[in-house]
Structure formats: structure tokens, C-alpha cells
Amino acid sequence: MSDVKKILGNYSTDITRTIEEELSAITPNNLAEASVYLTRAGGKMLRPALTLIAAEAVGGNRESALKSAAAIELIHTFSLIHDDIMDQDDMRRGMPSVHKVWGDDVAILAGDTLFSKAFEIIIGNKGTTSDQNNKSLATVADACVKICEGQALDMGFEERFDVTEDEYMEMIFKKTGALIAAATKVGAIMGGASEGVIDAMYEYGRLIGLAFQIQDDYLDLVSDEETLGKPIGSDIGKGKMTVIAIKGLASDDTGRLLEILKDDENSNEDITEAIDILTKCGAIEYARNLALESIKQAKEVLEILDDSSSKQMLVDIADFVLERSA
Amino acid sequence: MSDVKKILGNYSTDITRTIEEELSAITPNNLAEASVYLTRAGGKMLRPALTLIAAEAVGGNRESALKSAAAIELIHTFSLIHDDIMDQDDMRRGMPSVHKVWGDDVAILAGDTLFSKAFEIIIGNKGTTSDQNNKSLATVADACVKICEGQALDMGFEERFDVTEDEYMEMIFKKTGALIAAATKVGAIMGGASEGVIDAMYEYGRLIGLAFQIQDDYLDLVSDEETLGKPIGSDIGKGKMTVIAIKGLASDDTGRLLEILKDDENSNEDITEAIDILTKCGAIEYARNLALESIKQAKEVLEILDDSSSKQMLVDIADFVLERSA
């Protein structure tokens, strides 16, 4: 597993440098600093690395996809900044979130700026055809619409405790899966893949994206605060619907889980009790199995590709999604 | 003048229809409604009309620029929605602003959705070359970065009372001028203009954009609440720097204007007193002359175009910027 982190680390140097270059001209200073802050805080760079690896795995080269990869990461960062405002999450990547440091207003603007820059970067990409750039732009724009829709669905769920699993799966596809799918698809486009391979790479990204979000929900309950960079059980504290909560509510006859989810002022003991209920009724295990199945399918989709070290990396990353601890 | 409003009205039917079509697929409902709300509230549609008229004025046709024009209006609407959150403006187009109706979170997302849709629309534009679409996308993305920078500069000014006129002019170019310049440039690009004409159309837009913002600052002091759709002197109440305030502070030896600008809880009498100071020292007239000069230059730039009814509309719109009352 440390191998995958090392692979991501290798790609992240190029991506971080590209992002720093692209953001260097932003003024005034506070906007520039707020815009680059989360990149410097050191994310995993999973999405842009996927773009680069996908480009290589379809027979293209890393350089042709580098700008698009940076753009994908900026879209991800934009959505984190705006989501943290909406979700009132005060920590991100183990540091105070952008709105905690600069306030909501600058955080809104920093997100908007990164969004704009992402499109500017793809438009200005050299070494690929304008058809490739256009397809990549269309893919990214589609993902952006879906991210917004997914976040709106997610916020709508917060007032509801009767969310179905189907509704939940649509939400996480839009909120998380769509951008990861765009990341691998854009890599395939920039790498010069055929339509069939481009579609397969989107499906691979979609599937690991679903597993990624389910794993996030899982880690919120089974990780520890230091590793995760935020308190354990924060989703329960906020009454947030996850596939785990949905399954748990269906199994819990006592009504205690619903009570805790509805309560705005849970104690640590309440959170622990809820996690205990979710463990005993098998909801946590159910979610884990759902993620495992998605990853199995994602690896099957990769069979369309010729064998290569980059293809193997995609297999390893699929496994990594489930083995990561933060 | 009613002629110009009629012209804008004629173009706005096509633009509104295009926007409604492009936004029809958004889900969930609250996001869809929040996204289309300000379009239905009935803006002037000045920017997208400029795009269409510019396309015609350079010898192209309206249809080729229609999608881009809709995209320009969506970018404008996105920036209004986010600005209203940041500036805590509760009214827009005579109606409660988006964040007052749906809350800050949905308003942030609605803005983000419109932003995404704007790019999606230009990318999907048919009937123009991908080179034209790419140039338009680059122009819009550049304007978006500038809008964010302009808003950040503007917010930075709020804590300062020593803003210079140059700083102010940079701010309003980025915040207001850049998108109007993009609107006319994109029209020229989609209309098939030469590089020289494209640049001239950008300059025309930049100049009327500057005049537009200065006129906004002017109207904030000399219009009436019903026409304007918001209280008179609200900029003074918020201690906002405008070219009028900058000139006024330089002329006011009593320190009374500075006192009013710094006060967070001004009475109506205080606002009236400030407007009186600004009138007597010539600051309001100075701003008016600045706007007049920009409009004069904008009309000179248009001399590069062959005479046509569309060129005449651009002249009329330049004049309209100064004659509008809201």
C-alpha cells in the first residue's frame, strides 16, 4: 500500500508545480493565498494522478495530460472549499479550512477563482488537438454540474431520514464519482484513446468513485481523529445520511439511532452508541461489501487495456481506495 | 432611450428562451429554481444583447452567437448571486436575492451551477468553428478570473479609506468591465471578425463597462429607491469606496464624510448629509464626467466598423449606459 502512496507522491510533484505556476498571477494577495492554500496543505492528489496514469495506460504520455490533471485537482479543491463553507467543516487536510482562515467571502471567491482557472488551463493546453481539449472541457463541465447537483441532493438529505439507497447512490455518484470518472476519462482523451476505451475509463473512475465515497463514510466511523484530520462520527453528529445510516435505520427497531441522528447536540457517548448500533446490525459491514463489489467491477473494466505498468497502477489504486485510512 | 430598452427587450426573448432550455435539466428542484430565479426576475440582458449585436455589427449573424450570449448572462448571474451573499445585499432586481430565498448554501451552489453551465453551453455550440469556441471560452474564463479578483479587491477596499483612483479603476475594470468586454469580444469572435476588430470590440466593452460601474455608483446616490430596487446611499451606509467617495474624501476638510463612511449605523440623515457633501465638493460631477469621457472614447473605437444598424445600436447602448436610471 505504501507503494501506491509513493506512486501518487511521484505524480504529485509535477501536478503541484503546474498548479503553483498556473495560480501565480492571481491578485490580490489574500485571494492568491486562499486559492493555493489547500494545494500546499498536501492532498493525496488522487484525481490528477489518475488522469496522468490513465493517459499513460491508454498509450499516451504524461506530459500531454499534465495541464488537464492540474485542472481536475483545481475543480476538486474548489468543491472542497465551497463544501466546507456549506457543511461548516472547520478542518481540512489536518488544517483549518479556507473559510476558517480567510472568512466565508474570500473562501467563496477562492473557489470561484480556482474554478475559472481550471477551465483556463485546459483551454490553453498545447500539444493536444482542439478536439481533445474540447472533449476534456465538456467532460469537466459536465462533472462540475453534477458536483453541484450532488451537493444539493446531499444537503436535501440532511433534513430527511427516509432517504433510499438508490437516492444515496445517485447523490454520491454526482458528488464524488463524477469528478473521479472525469479524471480518468480526461486522461484517456488526452492520451489519444478510442471512444470505447474512453468510455471504459469513465466507468472505471465512476466505480472507484462510488467506492471512494462509501469508504469515506466508513472511515468517518472506524478511523481515528488524528489520521482522519477531523472528529470521528462527525456525519452522525450532523445527522447526515450515508448508506450506513440508511441501512442502520432500516434495522434499528429501538428508534435510538434515529434519535441520535436527529439530535443536534450529541455527546461523545451518543456517537459511540450510534457506531455500536451500526456495527451490530451489520450496516458498516454492508457498506464495506458494497465498496468491495464496486472495486471488483472497476478492475474488471480495466481488462479492455493492454497490460502495462500504468494499468497495474490503476489496479493498485482501485485496491488502495479501500485500504486507505484517511 | 426607450428605443434602447426596446432593442434589449427584443434580444432578451431569444436569450431567455436559450437560458431556460439550457437550465431545464438541473436537479434537484430547489437548485433548478434557485438557478433560473434571477433570469426570470427580468434583468436588462445588456451583456448578452451586446454579444448578439457585436456579432451582427462585425458582419456575422445573431444565431451563431446565441449560445455564447446565454453563457455570458449566466456568468453575470453567477457573479450577482455570489456577490449578493458576500455583500449581504438582500434585494436584487426588485426581489429578494437568491440567498434570502434559498439560504447561503443553495445560493453558493446555484452560482456554481450557472458557472458550470456557462462553459458547457459554449463548448456545445454548433455552427461555429472549434477555434471560435476555444477563443470564446478563453475570453470568458479570463473574465471570470478577473471578476473574482475584482470582487476581492473591492472587499479589501471596505476596510480601507485611502484607496486611490487608480486602484479603484483597476477594481471596477476587473469586477464589471471585464465581463462586458468579454461579451462584446465573444460576439465579435462568433461573428467571424478579424483580430483587430476583435480587440477593438473588447476595448469598446471595457470602456462602456467602466462607465457602467461609475454610473452604478452615481445612481446609488442620485436615483430613488423604487427605481433602483434598493435603498439610496447604500454604498455610503456600507462605507464602500467608489470614485465619488475617493474624490469626496480628498476634498472634505471637515472629516465629516470620513466619519459617516466609517460609521456602521448611519441614520437616513447621515446618508443625506454625506450626499450633500459629495454634491457640494464636486465629487458626483467628477464621476459623471469620468463616465462621459469613457463613453466618448467607446464610441470613437467603434469607427473601425462599417456603418450598419447594429453599429448604431452599439452607439445608442453606449449613450444608454449614462442615461439609464437603474
With beta carbons under 8 A apart, name residues in chain A contacting B85: 104-105, 108
Nearest-CB residue to B130 (from A105, A106, A130): A130
Share of chain A above pLDDT 70, in %: 99
Would you call A119 an interface residue with chain B, using a CB distance cutoff of 8 Å?
Answer: yes
Provide the β-strand partners of residue A96.
A91
Q: How far is A249 from chain B (nearest CA, A)?
A: 24
Q: Is A109 in contact with B134 (Cβ distance < 8 A)?
A: no
Interface confidence, given as ipTM, is: 0.90
What's the pLDDT score for residue A1? 46
Q: What is the predicted pLDDT for the residue at A316?
A: 96
Check residue A240 and give its pLDDT. Answer: 87
- Contact at CB, B141 and A106, closer than 8 angstroms: no
Q: Which residues of A touch B149 (CB under 8 A)?
A: 26-28, 31, 113
Cα separation of B16 and B63, whole Å? 14
Count residue pairs from A and B with Cβ separation < 8 A: 132
Q: What are phi and psi of A255, to 5 degrees?
A: 80, 0
- Dmax (CA) for chain A in angstroms is 62
Determine the average pLDDT of the residues in A141-165: 93
Q: In B, which residues are within 8 Å of A31 by CB distance?
A: 148-149, 152
Calculate helix-pair angle for A46-57, A178-190, nearest 10 degrees: 40
| A128 and chain B in contact, CB less than 8 A | no
A25-49 confidence digits (pLDDT tens)? 999 999 999 999 999 998 889 999 9
Amino acid B127: pLDDT: 86
Reported as a single tens digit per residue, the pLDDT across A120-135 is: 999 988 889 988 999 9
Contact B85 A106 (CB under 8 A): no
Domains recognised in chain B with CATH numbers: 2-323 (1.10.600.10)
Q: Which residues of A touch B156 (CB under 8 A)?
A: 28, 30
Whether the per-residue pLDDT at A58 is higher than 50: the answer is: yes
Q: Chain B closest CA to A30's CA: distance in Å?
A: 8
Residue A150 has pLDDT above 70, yes or no: yes
Closest C-alpha to A105, from A52, A32, A31? A31
- pLDDT digit string, tens, across residues A279-307: 999 999 999 999 999 999 999 999 999 99
A145–B contact, CB cutoff 8 A: yes
Q: Which residues contact B68 (CB under 8 A, 6 or more apart)?
A: B51, B121, B122, B125, B136, B140, B186, B187, B190
H helix intervals, B58-164: 62-87, 98-123, 130-157
**Mean pLDDT across chain A:** 94
Rounded Cα distance between B143 and B186, Å, is: 11
**B263 contacts chain A (CB < 8 A):** no
Per the CB < 8 Å rule, is B145 touching A113?
Answer: yes
Position A293 scores a pLDDT of 97
The grid cell for B213 is 460601474
Q: Is B196 on the interface with A (CB under 8 A)?
A: no
Amino acid letter at B144?
A: C
Rounded Cα distance, B202 and A162, in Å? 53
Contact B144 A112 (CB under 8 A): yes
pLDDT digits (tens, 9 = 90+) for A233-259: 988 988 889 999 999 999 988 999 999
Q: Which of B131, B145, B170 to mutate to test the interface with A (most CBs of A within 10 A)?
A: B145
pLDDT of the residue at A283: 97
CA-CA distance, B34 to B22, in Å (whole number)? 14
Tell whether the model's pLDDT for residue A154 goes beyond 80: yes
Candidates A82, A105, A138; nearest CB to B112 = A82
- Round to whole Å and give the CA distance between B82 and B14: 25
Q: How far apart are CA A119 and CA B146, in angstroms?
A: 14
Going by the DSSP 8-state scheme, the letter that residue B126 receives in this structure is -
Using a CB–CB cutoff of 8 Å, tell me whether B142 touches chain A.
yes
Instruction: Profile chain B (326 residues) by mean pLDDT over runs of 10 residues.
Output: 81 95 96 96 92 98 95 97 93 94 96 96 90 94 97 88 96 96 98 98 98 93 83 88 95 93 92 95 96 97 98 96 83
- Residue B247, pLDDT score: 96
Test the A interface: residue of B31, B128, B132, B153 with most A CBs within 10 Å: B31
Per-residue confidence (pLDDT) for residue B2, from 0 to 100: 58
Respond yes or no on whether the N-terminal peptide bond of residue A28 is cis (omega within 30° of 0): yes
